[in-house]
Amino acid sequence: MRIKVINPNTTESMTRTIAAAARAAAAPGTEILAATASTGPVSIEGHYDEAISVIGLLEAIREGEQQGCDGYVIACFGDPGLLAAREMTRAPVLGIAEAAMHAASFVATGFSVVTTLGRTRIIAEHLVHAYGMGRHCRRVRATELAVLELDDPASDARRKIVNECRRALDEDGSGAIVLGCGGMADLARELTAELGVPVIDGVGVAVKFIEALAGLGIGTSKRGDFAPPLPKFYTGRLSDMAFQAPGKPSAP
Ligand code: 5HY
């Protein structure tokens, strides 16, 4: 099985962190292809960054279709471009936020999300409700860390994340923690041991969910809004983004 794990920001060191978490979770027969967006923001911290990041994400999905991928992980906690990506492929596509929230709902009556900036907290709250997780998620918390501080040993990021997790367990009535950034993927196992509760990273969970879905032959439905994009011309800087269905011309 071949699963493509895509970091929609353009920071290679974060892709390495994400890829390591994906490979640690993958079964022996699963190949992980890790990709960094070829264009877009170095970190995704808001709606504008997310919108711009989708182009690089969809280009990576398009490449993955040529690579014969059996599933895709969008390794950014905003799950940018998730629905557009699902239009492009018959393979399962999971975002790390949706995957992590579902996993947390299986193992605890309530969970808290610990993410980066306050504005990301608000975006994650939108996702909680979009995914129907309102009765499971007790609170979304911000550490006020910038995404790129996660890669900076001088930022004291780990301590700030642990402290916010402890506040969540003490104050929110939560039994599990969801790590709200792809750049935190390397912390899940050690924080689970340190805090004594499930601390869930969506990268590893998404890999295992895709192994399950693809292993059962369950792919993305091609009916309704996940049907392939309609053939049409695209103009300007994105003229090469016209969707090319396998074996069909991209424009009428
Ligand atoms: C992420 N941003 O997972 C999100 C999360 C965040 O560049 N990778 C990013 O903190 O906004």
Domain ranges in the chain are 2-95+205-239, 97-202
Q: How far is the CA of 232 from the centre of ligand 1 (A)?
A: 32
Tell me, what's the pLDDT at 250?
47
CATH classification number, 97-202, choose in 3.40.50.12500, 3.40.50.2000, 3.30.420.40, 1.10.340.30 = 3.40.50.12500
pLDDT tens per residue across span 137-153: 999 999 999 999 999 98
Tell me, what's the pLDDT at 161?
98
pLDDT tens per residue across span 148-201: 999 998 999 999 999 999 999 999 999 999 999 999 999 999 999 999 999 999
Burial class (CB in 10 A: 0-12, 13-18, 19+), 169: middle
Element (H, E) at 95: strand 93-95
Q: How far is the CA of 45 from the centre of ligand 1 (A)?
A: 6
Q: How far is the CA of 209 from the centre of ligand 1 (A)?
A: 21
Ligand 1 atom with the shortest distance to the CA of 115? 10
CA torsion angle for 210, 215, 221, 226 (degrees, to 10)? 30
The CATH number of the domain covering residues in 2-95+205-239:
3.40.50.12500
Distance CA 9, CA 236 (A): 23
What residue ranges line ligand 1, CB within 6 angstroms? 9, 43-45, 76-78, 115-116, 120, 147, 181-183
Strand order in the sheet with 111-115: 137-142, 111-115, 176-180, 199-200
